[in-house]
Structure 1
Amino acid sequence: MEPVLLAALSVLFFFSFWNGFTDAANAIATVVATRVLTPIKAVALSAAGNFVGMFFFPTAVAVTMGEGIIRSSLVTAEILIAALIGGLAWDVLTWWFGLPTSESHVLVGSMIGVGVAAAGTDAINVSTILSKVVIPMVTSPTIAFIFAFFFTAAVMRLSLKSSPMKVNRYFSHIQLASSFFFSVTHGTNDAQKVMGLITAMFITYGYLSTFHVPLWVAFACHATISLGTLFGGWRIVHTMAHKITRLRPYQGACAETAAAVVLATTAVAGAPVSTTHAISGSIMGVGATRRFTAVRWGVAKSIVVAWILTIPLSAFFSYITCRVFMLAEIIVY
């Protein structure tokens, strides 16, 4: 295998690890906030769920990332390295300030940036981006909010005659399952984004003739995202779990279930949505069942601002990186 391919694989696997380090922690935010699990145990549960996700879902998200964002013939090792350098620049900034971002949108924005830099706007698959990225980006947190709101309201009504202690004890057990379910859906959704780019690159270089994800690629992507989860992301856990709204076990279970259903649905549909979007929307939906002032909308607003900026700024950084590579004749078109 050519050295440039090995370099691209290294960067892609690092991005998958970084995804776990910063983004997969969202999967444990609620179970930590409710005190059902300690952070260490919650991280271990989430890491296991991230890895198990490779066995349960089709590779529709991988197909979207590999063939649906930019013209597939452009997906070379050099292009991917430029895209990820630019995307990681934005990613590190948001992580440093403890602000949730979306690895999904970082990847999409980065691929758009290098596509435009290398071949102009004709390289961009606008229809796929609109149907698989933009529309789900808007609707997924909204649907998670609505689902979590009504799910929590139903649980509250059904639990009126039960003591709070009994309800919390019962839902402490349920939340273990809901947290694991959410981690599984997160693992399959986010690992597939890198899987898709690797597969597209192998097609470009003739290692594959059709788009199918090799088993070792799926294994490596899920393993690296799981390892990333084991190593951290505590700033974002704190933001997600404590600064948006405070939760009880039944609320945590409802939030995780709502977000997991959204992620599972979009994984089957091939939409690379944001785990952060889904869990943030569901946590706010849960908080709104008490009263709308229970949700700390100031923090929610800052998260939304970061989401809005992610695609254009990661595209900008990747565009600049790609142009520098082209000037240095690392990328030649």
Structure 2
Amino acid sequence: MEIISGMMSSKAGIFLLVIIFLAFVFDYINGFHDAANSIATIVATKVLTPFQAVLWAAAFNFAAYFISVYWIGEFKIGNTIAKSVNENFITLEVILAGIIAAITWNLITWKFGIPSSSSHTLIGGFIGAALTHSFMNPDLGSIMDVVVYNKVLPIFAFIFLAPFIGMVLSSILTIIILHICKNAKPAVAEWWFKKLQLVSSALFSLGHGMNDAQKVMGIIGAAVIFYHLNVDFDQAYVDAEDKFGYFVDHWGWVPITSFIIIGAGTMAGGWKIIKTMGSKITKVTPLEGVASETAGAMTLYISEHFGIPVSTTHTITGSIIGVGMTKRVSAVRWGVTISLLWAWILTIPISAVIAGLCYFVIGLF
């Protein structure tokens, strides 16, 4: 409270508080926008009712906080987001424009039931606003220096790699499971897979929480670090070798709040997207639900290990396609899938353009 009251005494401080508030709004929207990722298959197979499913997913979204803190011991993805733009091109206006753009695109895609990536819209908005800031202030340096390429290029690569990895893993898991259970009675096997789907859905929800809640932390961290380095000239931040780690240590309420809010957002659900994910791509059985969710969770844990923010949407979509293809290629509704692919490809550039326009508008005040 002492930090917040100190901020309210300055214009920049109030600006920072607005950014933190909007970041948590984005976090909530991210929760209900991406609720489909965790629960689409478990709802489609009627293992849980929609209400039970969102409660289940939200609980494990929040539980991911404790795994991040007490098992992994750090927030690698948040650190990646905070450092995706060169700090010389970061301002509070840039961060605010990026968040507004991310919220805008998320709401548009939610409205039309398009399972786009909340991760990539946030990154696209952040980069787009920074590029606009650089263009308007050429004395800061070359526009080519805005992006920290060793952080951003893996993110771009995983736009395609995450769904591909999920697809391959889910295909392999489905084939293995079918081979193991080839002599099982169908009714008995289905009963077991319905129970196992609770486990696989929980595993995916943990991955979703660890991956997506950290992205908001990264944006808030970038804003707080800028404030302390450029507004109140906090020497402790200047001296800190790991500035994001220092932020996490001294703003400890931000991580746990991020996980709580994304869990609350998940409880709100995103029913239009759940319909797309659960039935429009391919018809999913409990066995296939277990395979797709487990493959998606494995992909998320791999990306978490390397600190690469990936789209949970892309990951689970690729996994669902993978289980569909094990039946036959025509089992996948490729028309729907191609539409989703275009949404994935366009998310970053559209978010960047929206952020650039927002930056221009903010600059008028």
TM-score, normalization: structure 2?
Answer: 0.87
- CA deviations on 1:6-60 (whole Å, 9 max, x unpaired) are 1111100000000001113211011111111111100000001111111223311
| Counterpart-to-counterpart distance in 1, 2:103 and 2:26 | 8
| Counterpart-to-counterpart distance in 2, 1:86 and 1:247 | 34
What letter is aligned with 1:125?
V
Could you tell me how far 1:88 is from its partner in structure 2?
A: 2.1
| Counterpart-to-counterpart distance in 1, 2:43 and 2:322 | 18
Aligned residue in 2 for 1:211: 244
Q: Percent identity?
A: 40
Could you tell me how far 1:73 is from its partner in structure 2?
A: 4.4
* SS of equivalent to 1:202: helix
Could you tell me how far 1:99 is from its partner in structure 2?
A: 0.8
How many residue pairs end up in the alignment? 326
Aligned residue in 2 for 1:308: 345
What letter is aligned with 1:136?
F
Is structure 2 residue 149 aligned with structure 1 residue 126? yes
- CA deviations on 1:124-161 (whole Å, 9 max, x unpaired) are 22332112x11122111101101100110110111111
Could you tell me how far 1:247 is from its partner in structure 2?
A: 1.2
Task: Check whether the contact 1:24–1:186 (CA below 8 A) recurs between aligned residues.
Answer: no
Matches within 5 A, 1:15-26: 15-26=26-37
Matches within 5 A, 1:49-198: 49-57=60-68, 58-67=74-83, 69-120=84-135, 121=143, 122-131=145-154, 133-198=155-220
- CA deviations on 1:181-237 (whole Å, 9 max, x unpaired) are 100100110000010111121111116722122321111111111111111200000
Task: Check whether the contact 1:259–1:282 (CA below 8 A) recurs between aligned residues.
Answer: yes
Task: Check whether the contact 2:41–2:289 (CA below 8 A) recurs between aligned residues.
Answer: yes
Task: Check whether the contact 1:75–1:197 (CA below 8 A) recurs between aligned residues.
Answer: no
Aligned residue in 2 for 1:8: 19
Task: Check whether the contact 1:182–1:257 (CA below 8 A) recurs between aligned residues.
Answer: yes
Please report the RMSD computed on the Cα atoms of aligned residues, expressed in angstroms: 1.3
Matches within 5 A, 1:216-235: 216-235=253-272
| Counterpart-to-counterpart distance in 1, 2:22 and 2:275 | 28
What letter is aligned with 2:289?
G
Flag structure 2 segments of 5+ consecutive residues without an equivalent.
Answer: 1-6, 8-12, 69-73, 136-142, 229-233, 238-242
Task: Check whether the contact 1:99–1:306 (CA below 8 A) recurs between aligned residues.
Answer: yes
What letter is aligned with 1:55?
F
Could you tell me how far 1:250 is from its partner in structure 2?
A: 1.2
TM-score, normalization: structure 1?
Answer: 0.95
Flag structure 1 segments of 5+ consecutive residues without an equivalent.
Answer: none
Aligned residue in 1 for 2:222: 200
- The answer to which of 215-224 and 82-91 deviates more is 82-91
| Counterpart-to-counterpart distance in 2, 1:74 and 1:28 | 39
